[in-house]
Structure 1
Amino acid sequence: MPRPPHICSCGNIVPHGERCACQIKHTRERNRRHDRRRPTASQRGYGSKWRAARDAFLKINDRCAWPGCGELATVVDHIIPHRGDDRLFWDRSNWQPLCTSCHSRRKQRQERYRGA
């Protein structure tokens, strides 16, 4: 049995599992504000030196480390967020290979939940 639609705070009726156009617009505006204040990837340490180290790491560790996944790894994730700490950033024991899906969904959700 299909679930009923809900009413958005703007008054629009939205099908279950979907977001209202006003919510999507609000999220995009919030993300743009965040991105304007955020340093570039290179300024955060993800320059050519990082890309070379990442590529070498992924050649050796080519499968996603998330339990039960095993997809092709495309991202090197810092297990403990480095928050600008160079020692933690370059510590290979703090790296894990993840597929894009696990990094973008599972890992980010985990960090938001833990407040990391």
Structure 2
Amino acid sequence: MPMRPPRICGCGRKVAAGVLCACQILRKAEAARRRPTASDRGYGTAWQKARSGFLASHPNCAMCGKPATVVDHINPHRGDKALFWDKSNWQPLCTHHHNSTKQAQER
């Protein structure tokens, strides 16, 4: 089985393939520390109730038809409360499509 060669990190260090450099670990930890909690971003009890109701009435993923587990905002709300609660901006997705396909589209 062939092994991938090491890579050079943006900081200049040589890093084994598939491993995070120390600078990347620190950067990710700092970003996570600064990020508001889910509740602070609007995903509290009211959201959990609305999400459960939406998934009960829309049980299948909009992309593949498998059971949906995530309510996705079609257009990212970026903190806009009106867009956050606009049900016409919601779509049911399975975890796979929410974490891969949809994230790639938003990038």
TM over 0.5: yes
Cα RMSD over matched residues? 2.0
1:51-82 Cα shifts (integer Å, max 9, x gaps): 0000000001011111xx21110000000001
Matched length = 103
Measured after TM superposition, the shift of residue 27 of structure 1 is 4.0
1:7-86 equivalences under 5 Å are 7-9=6-8, 10-11=13-14, 14=17, 19=18, 21=19, 23=20, 25-66=22-63, 69-86=64-81
Q: Unmatched 5+ residue regions in structure 1?
A: none
CA shift in 2, pair 1:28/1:104, >3 Å = farther
* d(CA) in 1 for partners of 2:16, 2:54: 48
CA shift in 2, pair 1:43/1:13, >3 Å = closer
**Are positions 1:102 and 2:97 aligned together?**
yes
CA shift in 2, pair 1:72/1:25, >3 Å = farther
Runs of 4+ in structure 1 over 6 Å off: none
CA shift in 2, pair 1:71/1:30, >3 Å = farther
* d(CA) in 2 for partners of 1:33, 1:72: 35
CA shift in 2, pair 1:33/1:72, >3 Å = same
Identity, in percent, stands at 50
Partner of 1:89: 84
Indicate the SS of the match to 2:104: helix
Q: Unmatched 5+ residue regions in structure 2?
A: none
Q: Return the TM-score normalized by structure 2.
A: 0.84
